[in-house]
A and B are shown apart, each in its own frame.
Chain A
Amino acid sequence: MSGSPMNMIEKYLDRVRVYLPINSEDALIEIRTHLIEEAETLGQGKMTHGSAMLAIERFGDPKEAANAYAGIGKRVGPLPAEYVQPAIRIVLLLVALGAAFIIGSYVVGISIFDVAGITNFPFSIPVMVALSLLYAAVIIAGLSAIEKRGAPPSEKTVLESFLGLGSGVFKPKGRWDAAAEVVLGVFFAMVLLLSPIRLLFRGDFLLFMNVIAILLLVDALKGLLFFIAGENNLNLLFETVLGGAWVVLCMFLINIQWPLEQVYLFDGAEWVLIRLVDLPIEIPGPFGGAEVLTLLWAIGVFIVVVTNMWSILVSSMKIAMYLKEDKGLWWQGRWGPGRNRFPFFCRDSDRNQAYSDDGTTYSDGHKESDNIDET
């Protein structure tokens, strides 16, 4: 089943997005509004499965619809114009991914070498990612050559699935994702500041705990700005600077050892504090307990560095993109598509459908088989 009419439209837009430059959210929103209105007109005021499909078909092939923005039939170097944008995006993302991993490994590299003893482990990751993508490209290109196109226009081809890699990265942050950042940032900052929690950590880590709590609160503030104003250059700049602060903090954190010293255990009557070294736990494998904790600490720091570097690089690309469009620093920006966490935000037309096992019945009485994907 293709899902709700709105879902079909979103899937079609994902196909168009594959061929558009990364700064095309405006164009996609315009097309989305067009498709919704056309589907509602065709469905006599209500968007149905059939009317959405017809609206999509009328709008045209996604590649051609996107191509009209770049100019039909152009070639850029050896590539047809329609493949230039996906290629640029994939290269940008690979470079960003590689840079994030290299910087992450630079920060924690020595510790990982010391513990794991695996030669060149972190540096080999971007190379492995690039090689895997190359293999995937060869396999998928082969598959697409023999692929028969019988699916509805809302469904991506195999090739588009590959070309669309990373296209979601450039969508603005969802409003409810921003709200979650606010709630989680404040919650974890408060947790870190509670004295029963601070008791668990080594004394020399407490200063860093304060810094982490402050950064979490600043993270929450950043989330609030995104929640209020959506994506704009000031918020992206805030995200970049904050990401940088996390990376700098990690440079300090990697030089201290695993900080958790004690844990709470329930002894049958009450919660008591037990030192980790006193726990009667045998850790199997080639490493002893201390080495495992050091490795876990290094991996944790590595993940924080890589995710923040990724965020810095993607935000920087977006800032450059918006500056090129003369957008300045602050404006009422846009939020990315939500994840429908709250069902009451669904569109009326989506609610107007009733699903049954043998197909979909619409409020206008029209009934369709659900196996449209297989047609």
Chain B
Amino acid sequence: MEKSRKNALEEIERWSKEIKRGAASLAIVAILDEQTAYGYEIVKTLGEKASFLQLEQGTVYPLLRRLEKRKLLESEWNYDDPTKPKKYYKLTADGKMALQMMTETWSVLSDELRRLLEGADSQ
């Protein structure tokens, strides 16, 4: 029994990681669809609005960088406070298109999964 529980916990950990990895990119582009924001703002918004992701603060910045490299985001430095330069990110046209597609895919995925799970529950 203890072994089964351990296996299940390991599986849920692996599965959560994979789900969160994809969801984190979607959450970030969704935040940036509403407004431009810099790293710390994005981290805080993710903490407030997407707490289920439980992202380590340090992992958000590499993700932003990767999305920028893939041309989904573009950035601009703001030096208004020279002691705290801020890198503001915004969605590119590619990013907006990707967000639209990701949202549709996510929606289809969650609808179908919900129906599948409801079916499993009723059986």
- B residues near A177, Cβ cutoff 8 Å: none
A60 to B87, Cβ gap below 8 A? no
CB-contact partner of B58 in A26, A29, A33, A68, under 8 A? A68
Q: Is A10 an interface residue (CB 8 A)?
A: no
The 0/1 profile, CB within 8 Å of A marked 1, for residues 32-57 of chain B is 00000011100100000000000011
A215 to B43 alpha-carbon distance, docked (Å): 49
Q: Is A59 an interface residue (CB 8 A)?
A: yes
Q: Whose C-beta in chain B lies nearest to the C-beta of A24?
A: B65
A37 to B86 alpha-carbon distance, docked (Å): 11
A34 to B83, Cβ gap below 8 A? no
The 0/1 profile, CB within 8 Å of A marked 1, for residues 56-67 of chain B is 111101100100
B61 to A30, Cβ gap below 8 A? yes
A34 to B43, Cβ gap below 8 A? yes
CB-contact partner of B87 in A26, A65, A347, under 8 A? A26
A27 to B58, Cβ gap below 8 A? no
Question: Closest approach, in angstroms, between the C-beta of A275 and any C-beta of chain B?
Answer: 54
- B residues near A30, Cβ cutoff 8 Å: 39, 61, 87
Question: Closest approach, in angstroms, between the C-beta of B60 and any C-beta of chain A?
Answer: 9
B62 to A68, Cβ gap below 8 A? yes
Q: Is B6 an interface residue (CB 8 A)?
A: no
A30 to B39 alpha-carbon distance, docked (Å): 7
- B residues near A59, Cβ cutoff 8 Å: 57-58
- B residues near A31, Cβ cutoff 8 Å: 58, 61
Q: Whose C-beta in chain A lies nearest to the C-beta of B84?
A: A33
CB-contact partner of B40 in A26, A34, A65, A347, under 8 A? A34
B65 to A58, Cβ gap below 8 A? no
A68 to B40 alpha-carbon distance, docked (Å): 17
A36 to B57, Cβ gap below 8 A? no
The answer to whether A27 and B84 touch (CB under 8 A), given A33-B38, A37-B40, A60-B56, is no
Q: Whose C-beta in chain B lies nearest to the C-beta of A64?
A: B58
Question: Closest approach, in angstroms, between the C-beta of A279 and any C-beta of chain B?
Answer: 53
Q: Whose C-beta in chain A lies nearest to the C-beta of B75?
A: A26
A98 to B58 alpha-carbon distance, docked (Å): 37
The answer to whether A34 and B62 touch (CB under 8 A), given A58-B57, A60-B56, A60-B57, is no
Q: Which of A61-83 contact B (CB under 8 A)?
A: 64-65, 68-69
A37 to B84, Cβ gap below 8 A? yes
Q: Is A14 an interface residue (CB 8 A)?
A: no
CB-contact partner of A69 in B39, B62, B85, B86, under 8 A? B62
A31 to B57 alpha-carbon distance, docked (Å): 10
The answer to whether A69 and B83 touch (CB under 8 A), given A37-B40, A60-B58, is no
- B residues near A68, Cβ cutoff 8 Å: 56, 58-59, 61-62
Q: Is A219 an interface residue (CB 8 A)?
A: no
- B residues near A65, Cβ cutoff 8 Å: 58
A281 to B83 alpha-carbon distance, docked (Å): 55
B38 to A69, Cβ gap below 8 A? no
Q: Is A231 an interface residue (CB 8 A)?
A: no
A139 to B86 alpha-carbon distance, docked (Å): 41
- A residues near B87, Cβ cutoff 8 Å: 26, 29-30, 33
A347 to B83, Cβ gap below 8 A? yes
CB-contact partner of B39 in A33, A60, A64, A347, under 8 A? A33
- A residues near B85, Cβ cutoff 8 Å: 29, 33, 334
A59 to B56 alpha-carbon distance, docked (Å): 7
Q: Please provide the 5 A-B residue pairs with the shortest distance between their CB atoms, ordered closest to farther.
A: A65-B58, A68-B62, A60-B58, A69-B62, A33-B84
Inter-chain pairs besides A29-B87, A32-B84, A64-B56, 16 sampled, C-beta below 8 Å: A27-B61, A30-B87, A31-B58, A33-B40, A33-B84, A34-B40, A34-B43, A36-B83, A38-B40, A59-B57, A59-B58, A60-B56, A60-B57, A64-B58, A69-B62, A334-B85
Which A residues contact B (CB, under 8 angstroms)?
26-27, 29-34, 36-38, 58-60, 64-65, 68-69, 334, 347
